[in-house]
């Protein structure tokens, strides 16, 4: 998704309501700036529904019994993880909807905690010693991709406040699973966090457990053109009166995208080329002379995921 809206970029530029000639170009720059943020940080700042597979923590032993020093360290760490009931995530985890062990049993939420505590995102699942549950191989003794974690994934440092009440509801009776036009009560009203207009093109909204992307807004007719079932969610019918909530990316990420989109807009006629940098984590393509405050606003690029014991 885009981490800033056209409305926010237009406000930054101080454009009058009648100055719409460059809206298409600005929308392109917002999309490119959002993609750059994902690429530079090697992580995503929206939220998505996904099931990820994990190996049973302890690796298979070599039949020859020969290991390098790194392999011994890896084995020792894996053994420690199993002893402490730890499963390390390879991506940013926000919440778990279903945790299935290697033996295909579903682990109750009361049997584990997510770590680090009191912070987002989460990078460890730790089985509670009191639960009597341990990580398991599958019935055939395989360890590869036998544990599954279904949940919400993405990077947000204050996820408990990431969803804002739009103070509006579904007015269609009902909104069918196939509909791409959503009727609301007041499209250009004020959301719970006082942001206005409450609905803007480029937002991700949530109705029950479905995520939708706002393509365009007709404030006169109070209708939104939407893309259904985005970010791994499933399209469903929604009854009239159901609450609509708005996803709020981290403020620093939104600000970085606004700044970068505006910079690209102001540099549109300049002879500026991208710079390619080879990193240990991959290749980063950075637009030349990116404003320093853009990168300062962003979290550090993802390297190793998974905390300490």
pLDDT at 278: 57
Residues 207-247: tens digit of each pLDDT:
999 999 999 999 999 999 999 999 999 999 999 999 999 99
> Nearest-CA neighbor of 164 among 141, 195, 140, 201?
195
Lowest mean pLDDT of 4-18, 254-268, 279-293, name the range: 279-293
pLDDT at 154: 97
The parent domain of residue 273 ranges over: 1-46+250-303
Residue 282 covered by a domain: yes
Considering the domain architecture, whether residues 128 and 211 belong to the same structural domain is answered as no
pLDDT at 80: 79
Residue 309 covered by a domain: no
What is the Cα–Cα distance from 249 to 94, expressed in whole angstroms? 13
CB neighbours (10 Å) of residue 290?
20
pLDDT at 308: 43
Residue 238 covered by a domain: yes
What is the Cα–Cα distance from 34 to 45, expressed in whole angstroms? 9
Residue 30 covered by a domain: yes
| Coil/strand/helix, residue 216 | strand
DSSP string covering 195-213: -SSS--TT-EEEETTEEEE
pLDDT at 188 over 70: yes
Instruction: Report which of residues 264 and 306 the model is more confident about.
Output: 264
Look at residues 153, 173, 200 and tell me which one is the last residue of a structural domain: 153
Residues 66-120: tens digit of each pLDDT:
566 666 667 677 777 888 999 999 999 999 999 999 999 999 999 999 999 999 9
Considering the domain architecture, whether residues 116 and 133 belong to the same structural domain is answered as yes
Residues 285-306: tens digit of each pLDDT:
555 567 888 999 999 888 766 5
Considering the domain architecture, whether residues 108 and 14 belong to the same structural domain is answered as no
Instruction: Report which of residues 58 and 138 the model is more confident about.
Output: 138
pLDDT at 282 over 90: no
In this prediction, what percent of the chain has a pLDDT beyond 90? 78
pLDDT at 19: 96
Considering the domain architecture, whether residues 197 and 232 belong to the same structural domain is answered as yes
**N-terminal to C-terminal alpha carbon distance within the chain:** 34
Residue 142 covered by a domain: yes
Considering the domain architecture, whether residues 242 and 284 belong to the same structural domain is answered as no
pLDDT at 205 over 80: yes
Considering the domain architecture, whether residues 202 and 284 belong to the same structural domain is answered as no
Residue 308 covered by a domain: no
| Coil/strand/helix, residue 160 | helix
Considering the domain architecture, whether residues 254 and 221 belong to the same structural domain is answered as no
Residue 270 covered by a domain: yes
Considering the domain architecture, whether residues 219 and 271 belong to the same structural domain is answered as no
Tokens 């460890």 map to which residue?
124
Tokens 């945790």 map to which residue?
99
Look at residues 135, 153, 171 and tell me which one is the last residue of a structural domain: 153
173-202 average pLDDT score: 97
Considering the domain architecture, whether residues 41 and 52 belong to the same structural domain is answered as no
Considering the domain architecture, whether residues 26 and 55 belong to the same structural domain is answered as no
CB neighbours (10 Å) of residue 36?
23
pLDDT at 275: 57
Q: The whole model's pTM is what?
A: 0.87
Does residue 205 contact residue 46 with C-beta atoms inside 8 Å?
A: no
Considering the domain architecture, whether residues 53 and 141 belong to the same structural domain is answered as yes
pLDDT at 309: 40
Residues 237-253: tens digit of each pLDDT:
999 999 999 999 999 99
Considering the domain architecture, whether residues 175 and 226 belong to the same structural domain is answered as yes
Residues 16-69: tens digit of each pLDDT:
999 999 999 999 999 999 999 999 999 999 999 999 999 998 766 555 555 666
Please give the tally of structural domains in the chain.
3
pLDDT at 72: 60
Does residue 45 contact residue 38 with C-beta atoms inside 8 Å?
A: yes
CA distances from 36 to 10, 118, 222, 284 (A): 20, 29, 33, 9
**Residue 7: in which H helix or E strand, if any?**
helix 6-13
């Amino acid at each position: 998704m885009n981490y800033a809206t056209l409305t926010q970029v237009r406000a930054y530029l101080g454009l009058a309501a009648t100055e719409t000639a460059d809206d298409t170009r600005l929308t392109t720059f917002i999309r490119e700036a959002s993609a750059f943020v994902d690429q530079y940080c090697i992580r995503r700042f929206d939220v998505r529904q996904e099931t990820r597979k994990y190996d049973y923590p302890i690796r298979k032993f070599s039949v020859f019994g020969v290991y390098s020093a790194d392999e011994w360290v890896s084995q020792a760490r894996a053994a420690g993880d199993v002893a402490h009931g730890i499963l390390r995530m390879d991506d940013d985890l926000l919440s778990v909807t279903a945790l299935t062990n290697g033996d295909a049993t579903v682990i109750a939420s009361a049997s584990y905690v997510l770590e680090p505590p009191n912070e987002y995102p989460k990078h460890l699942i730790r089985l509670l010693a009191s639960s009597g549950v341990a990580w398991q191989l599958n019935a055939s003794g395989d360890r590869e991709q036998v544990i599954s974690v279904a949940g919400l994934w993405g990077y947000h440092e204050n996820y408990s406040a990431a969803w804002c009440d739009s103070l509006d509801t579904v007015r269609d009776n009902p909104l069918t699973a196939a509909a791409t036009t959503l009727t609301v009560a007041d499209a250009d009203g004020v959301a719970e966090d006082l942001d206005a207009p409450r609905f803007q093109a480029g937002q991700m909204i949530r109705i029950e457990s479905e995520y939708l992307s706002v393509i365009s807004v007709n404030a006169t007719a109070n209708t939104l053109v939407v893309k259904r079932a985005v970010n791994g969610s499933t399209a469903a019918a929604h009854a009239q009166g159901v609450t609509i909530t708005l996803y709020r990316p981290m403020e620093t990420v939104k600000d970085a995208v606004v700044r970068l989109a505006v910079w690209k807009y102001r540099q549109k006629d300049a002879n500026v080329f991208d710079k390619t940098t080879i990193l240990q984590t991959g290749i980063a393509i950075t637009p030349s002379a990116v404003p320093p405050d853009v990168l300062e606003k962003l979290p550090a690029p993802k390297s190793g995921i998974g905390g300490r014991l």
